[in-house]
Amino acid sequence: MCIGLMPPTKAPWPHPLVAREGWPFLVISLVVALTMTGVVGWAWASPFWLIALFVLQFFRDPARVVPIGEGLVLSPADGRIVAVEKTEDPWLKREALKISVFMNVFNVHSNRAPVDGEVKGRWYNPGKFVNADLAKASTENERNAVWFRTPDGKDVTSVQVAGLIARRILCYVEPGAQLQRGQRYGFIRFGSRVDVYLPTDARPRVALGDKVRAASDVLAQL
């Protein structure tokens, strides 16, 4: 459960039921399951239907209700809080408050903008694929960083980090793009994490172990 009260006024942000990244995998898994059912029957084909169900749940992309309020930093990912700490933002070379969200294979893997603002920069670094639950994943794993600047001049860095199983980071925004908080900007396959670097005066609204949902739960207040 997140610390602090959610703002009372909210607005919806629409999303497709299944992320577009998942359609090829879903179609293939359904075709295989249907084919095996026709060849060997339901009982022997049941493992293939379980695989299709797993693919469906992994690529689900449900609509979320986005909190409205000044200075809110929303979670860019579904998952569990694994870090709330002061550290260096390696992308903007500044001291920062880092909040990290770990996603397991059963979480929604769409990534959403944590704040309203302009994309000022984007960096991709190849790397390893160690367990994303570990702190060293932030500096050693494959990762993609997006630098947001809010309308009032605050800098927020959101970093997609690949994990032990994740082998593909997808990001659909480039410098100059204007995003609203909660807007979808990327996807990670499969388990992974997202690190958010904030100004040091940001006030955390979550604690270690909290479970959060992208675009719905507040990580911090700027």
Residue positions annotated with a catalytic role: 192
Q: How is residue 141 written in tokens?
A: 């794993």
What is the rounded CA–CA span in Å between residue 168 and residue 113?
19
- Beta strands 211-212 and 79-89, pairing class: antiparallel
**Tokens 């870090």 identify what position?**
83
Nearest to 132 by CA among 163, 166, 98, 167: 163
Q: How is residue 76 written in tokens?
A: 């860019």
**DSSP SS3 for 35:** helix
CB 205 within 8 A of CB 100: no
Q: What's the one-letter identity of residue 186?
A: G
What is the rounded CA–CA span in Å between residue 91 and residue 145?
8
Q: How is residue 177 written in tokens?
A: 């793009």
Give, as one character, the DSSP assignment of residue 6: P
CB 68 within 8 A of CB 182: no
